[in-house]
Structure 1
């Protein structure tokens, strides 16, 4: 397993085990901290977990963004968390052209989701 990145809202920090996260320091309501994005690399595979606000088309948009980043979609799982949130897990395989770091991958997904949400 290579690394992990968590993204919430505003701050990015790196952990000693080659992982990093972005966290929101706000003490506002639950939905202000969404989406949360986690990515892990293992060999040429990528696991992406996104906990986000439940909106129509968010899963399709996420899969389309993953494919734009030179990742081959393998599988996904989507669970409803309460009435207002989704937990999306995507497994993808890195294509030969894939050259992003785990941090860059999460930042690109975050940017795409921010525009959509």
Structure 2
């Protein structure tokens, strides 16, 4: 090989690398992170005339703060944070509900906060059958937790 052909091959290879860099930069710009948060607290109001309460759109009422649920999605990864009241087997129930959504739990962390609340963080990956939006993840988890608490 002469010097001109080596130099020509090197230039061609550099151009290929530059195109690859541009392609990867465009892909990284397209990656977006979605998130949804549902935070709503309910309180029971005891009036002397027969007691009334605020009700959620799901038809549930409560004398306690309901769970605060946040979800974020990036590619095939899902981050879920739940702040809720500590109840027997609540973490196991939440993990089961997450798996019902076609999410595989990769990592989880349950931290007791104060005397009666839990902060639960879950990192999961989407399974093949996963087809929910971030808002649907939050809505489904919230609905399941409400059913668990008020059955």
Query: Which consecutive unaligned segments of at least 5 residues does structure 2 have?
Result: 1-31, 46-62
Higher helix share: 2
1:4 alignment partner in structure 2 = 35
4+ residue runs over 4 A deviation: none
Q: CA deviation at 1:3?
A: 1.4
Query: Which consecutive unaligned segments of at least 5 residues does structure 1 have?
Result: 10-23
**TM-score between the two structures when normalised by the length of structure 1:** 0.79
> Residue 39 of structure 1 contacts residue 102 of structure 1 at CA under 8 Å; is this kept in 2?
yes
Q: Calculate the aligned-residue CA RMSD, in Å.
A: 1.9
Matched, 1:62 2:97: no
Q: Which one has a bigger Cα radius of gyration?
A: 2
**TM-score between the two structures when normalised by the length of structure 2:** 0.62
Q: CA deviation at 1:34?
A: 2.6
Residue of 85, 98, 102 corresponding to 2:130: 98
Q: Distance in 2 between matches of 1:56 and 1:8?
A: 22
Q: Distance in 1 between matches of 2:37 and 2:105?
A: 20
SS at match of 1:61: helix
1:51 alignment partner in structure 2 = 83
Aligned length: 101
